[in-house]
Every structure is written in C-alpha cells, then in structure tokens.
C-alpha cells in the first residue's frame, strides 16, 4: 500500500476530529463534511491510522464480510491510560458487559445468541404489539398536548420505551427507570474520541449494574411462572442454545436500553424533515400512502446511527485501500446513505424514493434486530398525525432547533409543534353532547 493512500488533509482532519468528539457544530450537519471525504476516495485515513469507509459500496462490503471485519467496541474510546485506577475499573466493567451482547459478538457466539434473540422477536408478535403502540400513541398525545401545543420529542422519547416494555412484558411503571438507565448507558457508546467525563463513566457503570440486577430479578420472577412470549423464548433458549446467565442478562439489557434510541430519533427527524419544508408535509397529507416510504427516506437521509465500527481481523482491500488485520475501521453510515453512486439526488429528501438499500439499520448479520418494531412505531405515529389532526406545524424557526451533540446518534433535542383541530377531542365532545 502506498503512502498516498493515507494522505490526510488538515481541514478534514479538524472537522472529522470535532465530529468524533461530538462537536454539535459538525454533528448537526455532517453531510458537507461527508461529501468532501468521499471526494478524497472511498476510504479516508483519519490521522493516517483510522480508515473511514465513506461510500455505500465500501460500507456494504465491510458489513457483509463478517468473517474479515468483526464487531468490536473496546476501551480505547475512554482515554483509558489517563484515567484513575477507579475509573479504569468502571471502564473494564462497561466493556466486559458490552462483549456479552450480540451486537459485539462474532462468529458462532453471535449466531447462537442472535438465534435465541430472534425467537424472542417473532414478526407476528411485533405486529400484535402495534395495537398497543396505537393506544400508547393516542394516550401520549392526550398527555402532552396542551392548548394545541406540545414538544413532539417528549412523545418520541417515551413511546419506544413503552413499546419494548410491552413487548417484553416488563412492568409499565418501570418505564422511567429503564429510560434513565438506558440514557446513562448510551452516553458511553461513541466509537472514537477523546474520552468521557468521569461522572459520565461512573453513571454508565452504575446504570448497567442496576440494569443487570433488575434483569436478574425479572428473570427469576418469570421463571416463577409469570411468563410472556418473549421471556419464554429467551428462557427456553437458555437450555436449547446454552445462553449463560450473564449472556441472558446482557441480551435482555440490550433490548431494554438499545431499543429506544434509534426509534426516538427516527420519529423526531422524520417529523422535522416534513415540517421544516411545508411542501413535504402537504404532499404527505394529500397522499398518506407515502408514510412507509417517508420512514425509509428518513432512515436514509438522516440515519439516527451515523457511525459503526469494525475490527479487521484479516488483511482486506476496500475500495482499493488495503486495510491490515488489527485495524479498527469506521463505517460512515451517514456518508454512505448520501452517496450519489447509490442514490440519485442524494441530498434531496424525496418522499417517493422508498429506498430499500439504505444502511439506517446497519446491514448484514448484525442488522438491527428490532427494525420491524421501529418501522411499526413510525407508521403508527405518522398515520396518527395525519388522521387525528387537521394540520401540524413547527412553532419555531427550524434553524433554531438544538441538535444532539453526539458522534454516533443523530437527533433533535426538542421539536415544538402546534396542531389544528384535534379530531379525537371533537369526537369526545360529540359523544358527550
């Protein structure tokens, strides 16, 4: 491999470094940066050492080649060597627990645990949950709407947790607790960067300890006879597929804290893209059959998960670049989804595009196991917006909205909206008249 393959450009280095560090001035709109990175070639070597795969074809190649590129999340993102011994112990606990989850497993271990998890997410059961999702969506609108106004992100953040709790059969009154633990655990999920504040590390470690204990207690309760379909599948799998108690706890914990992050941001980003350009919202109102394609276009245009990492375990060529074994590799999902070689007019949000090959839920053997449930939630929420209200509008300038300062998770922190004519409220009045 020639040195030219690892040529760096100072401005790109600076912007990419700030993005990895969660600088909101970059993470709020990284797409111009991605475009300049793609112009450098299909692989850009950040600092000359980290290959960033920026094209759709290259990203698909890495995702599909699970034998050469392993899922990997290590402790280097914590600036480990500069931490106190106490904080290093916290990091070791976090990383050890992550490695028990199928998202960080490879080969036979991954196939075994994923097979067990897949039985806990049968398509039929998730479609049955759609009825509850509809009830919860209506209830959340009732709860948060006040004088025709609400922050849509309150609903977007809560609904996915309610849905996974319903799917799993965990107590609904524990939703706030589970959401809090999930947020603390997700706070250390960056793939690259200069570390985390000590309090963030401690909260993340404490949250996973609490969540593990919660899961252990819950498993014992379910073993006592209060089973749901999901727990029955997982507990049976413990015998059939030899899940260890630690793997079982880690798998359930992954469902509980990981299921909401992507879906919450998908809902918020979808509505943001619709309402920040009124012609899009009007088009959807006039043709509600475009809801499903709008969801897919949201996942392509602004993927809630922008980055994923892999570890090369064999020398492999990607886009003409040799990636040596032992090299951590970054898959730039946000860039791949805006690649003009894969999508015509990639910077246009097109409700009719209905992309089926976007990477919004990943790809290959590690594709998001909850993607069907996320799509169900998206369809229910947007169908409800269209059917229940005459109109929906932003109450603030779209450019004033605050974006998530995170290198991995793209999202909007607050989305104030106002509605016109709540038809469900009118029906209640008519029924009581």
> For 326-349, how does the pLDDT look when each residue is reduced to its tens digit (9 = 90+)?
999 999 999 999 999 999 999 999
CA distance 424 to 387: 9
Q: Give the model's pLDDT for residue 173.
A: 87
- pLDDT of 238 > 90? The answer is no
3-432 CATH fold: Cytochrome p450 (1.10.630)
Q: Please, what is the average pLDDT of the chain? A: 89
* 329 alpha-carbon distance from chain centroid: 19
CA distance 263 to 368: 11
- pLDDT of 294 > 50? The answer is yes
Q: Please state the rounded mean pLDDT for residues 191-202.
A: 82
- Do you know the residue count of the chain? 433
Count other C-beta atoms under 10 Å from residue 183's C-beta.
Answer: 16
- pLDDT of 310 > 90? The answer is yes
Question: Strand 328-332 vs strand 50-53: parallel, antiparallel, or unpaired?
Answer: parallel
CA proximity to 381, closest of 133, 128, 147, 158: 133
CA proximity to 265, closest of 378, 368, 181, 383: 378
CA distance 139 to 256: 21
Q: Give the model's pLDDT for residue 237.
A: 64
Query: Which neighbouring-strand residues pair with 312?
Result: 69
Kindly indicate the confidence band of residue 429, based on its pLDDT and cuts at 50, 70 and 90: very low
Using alpha carbons, list the distances in angstroms from residue 93 to 110, 185, 248, 249, 351. Answer: 20, 12, 17, 14, 44
- Whether the Cβ atoms of residue 130 and residue 380 lie closer than 8 Å to each other: yes
**φ, ψ (nearest 5 deg) of residue 21:** -80, -5
CA distance 95 to 428: 52
Q: What angle do CA 260, 79, 11 make, to 5 degrees?
A: 85
- pLDDT of 226 > 70? The answer is no
Locate the domains of the chain by residue range.
3-432
CA proximity to 269, closest of 306, 305, 304, 308: 304
47 token code pair: 């600092």
283 token code pair: 């088009």
Kindly indicate the confidence band of residue 223, based on its pLDDT and cuts at 50, 70 and 90: low
286 token code pair: 């006039």
CA distance 173 to 159: 14
CA distance 199 to 205: 10
pTM over 0.85: yes
Name 318's Cβ contacts closer than 8 Å, sequence gap at least 6: 42, 43, 51, 53, 58, 61, 62, 329
Q: Give the model's pLDDT for residue 229.
A: 62
Burial class (CB in 10 A: 0-12, 13-18, 19+), 3: exposed
Q: Give the model's pLDDT for residue 138.
A: 97
Q: Give the model's pLDDT for residue 149.
A: 97
Q: Give the model's pLDDT for residue 251.
A: 82
């Amino acid at each position: 491999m020639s040195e030219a393959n690892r040529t760096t450009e100072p401005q790109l280095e600076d912007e990419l470094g700030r993005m990895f560090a969660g600088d909101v001035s970059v993470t709020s709109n990284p797409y111009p940066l991605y475009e300049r990175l793609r112009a450098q070639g299909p692989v850009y070597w950040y600092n000359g050492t980290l290959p960033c795969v920026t094209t759709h074809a290259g990203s698909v190649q890495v995702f599909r080649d699970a034998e050469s590129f392993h899922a990997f999340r290590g402790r280097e993102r914590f600036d480990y060597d500069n931490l106190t011994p106490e904080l290093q112990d916290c990091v070791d606990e976090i990383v050890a627990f992550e490695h028990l989850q199928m998202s960080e497993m490879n080969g036979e271990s991954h196939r075994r645990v994923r097979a067990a998890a897949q039985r806990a997410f049968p398509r039929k059961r998730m479609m049955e949950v759609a009825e509850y999702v509809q009830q919860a969506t209506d209830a959340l609108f009732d709860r948060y709407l006040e004088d025709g106004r609400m922050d849509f992100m309150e609903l977007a953040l809560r609904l996915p947790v309610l849905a996974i709790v319903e799917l799993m059969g965990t107590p609904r009154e524990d939703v706030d607790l589970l959401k809090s633990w999930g947020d603390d655990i997700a706070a250390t999920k960056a793939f690259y960067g200069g570390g985390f504040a000590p309090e963030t590390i401690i909260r993340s470690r404490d949250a996973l300890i609490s969540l593990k204990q919660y899961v252990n207690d819950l498993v014992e309760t379910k073993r006592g006879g209060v089973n749901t379909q999901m727990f029955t599948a997982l507990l049976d799998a413990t015998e059939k597929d030899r899940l260890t108690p630690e793997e079982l706890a880690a798998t359930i914990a992954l469902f509980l804290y990981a299921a909401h992050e992507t879906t919450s941001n998908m809902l918020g980003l979808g509505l943001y893209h619709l309402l920040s350009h009124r012609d899009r919202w009007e088009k959807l109102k006039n043709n509600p059959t475009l809801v499903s394609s709008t969801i897919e276009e949201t996942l392509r245009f602004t993927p809630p998960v922008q980055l994923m990492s892999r570890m090369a375990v064999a020398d492999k060529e990607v886009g003409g670049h040799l990636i040596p074994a032992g090299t951590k590799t970054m898959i730039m999902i946000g860039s791949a989804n805006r690649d003009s070689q894969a999508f015509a007019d990639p910077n246009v949000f097109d409700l009719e595009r209905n992309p089926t090959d976007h990477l919004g839920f990943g790809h290959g053997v590690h594709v998001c196991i909850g993607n069907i449930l996320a799509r169900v939630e998206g369809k229910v929420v947007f169908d409800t917006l269209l059917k229940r209200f005459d109109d929906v509008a932003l109450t603030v300038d779209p450019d004033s909205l605050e974006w998530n300062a995170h290198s991995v998770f793209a999202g909007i922190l607050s989305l104030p909206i106002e509605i016109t004519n709540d038809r469900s409220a009118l029906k209640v009045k008519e029924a009581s008249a």
